Amino acid sequence: MVQVIEKVRSMQRRLREDRGAATAEYAITILAAVGFAGLLVALLKGDEVKAILSELVHRALSGG
């Protein structure tokens, strides 16, 4: 009976181990951030967005 209990406890420990999970979560977060940055770069390269941002900065600096 003791051996069965030990085997069950051993299996429970193995199932609870999540070593490496944090590393995978960091990798997914970094990939998402890189994707978002790429999207922003693609949007900011457009002439329409440049014109909108230029107008916004011009208005802010001219006070009107």
Q: Which pLDDT band, with edges at 50, 70 and 90, does 18 fall under? A: low
Distance CA 20, CA 26 (A): 10
Residue 12 has pLDDT above 90, yes or no: no
Q: For the chain, give the percent of residues with pLDDT over 70.
A: 88
Instruction: Compute the residue count for the chain.
Output: 64
Most confidently modeled range among 3-12, 41-50, 52-61 = 52-61
pLDDT of 9 strictly over 90: no
Maximal C-alpha separation, the chain: 84
Task: Please write down the long-range contacts of 40-44, taking CB distance under 8 Å and 24 or more positions apart.
Answer: none
Q: Taking a C-beta distance cutoff of 8 angstroms, is the pair 43, 49 a contact?
A: yes
pTM of the model: 0.49
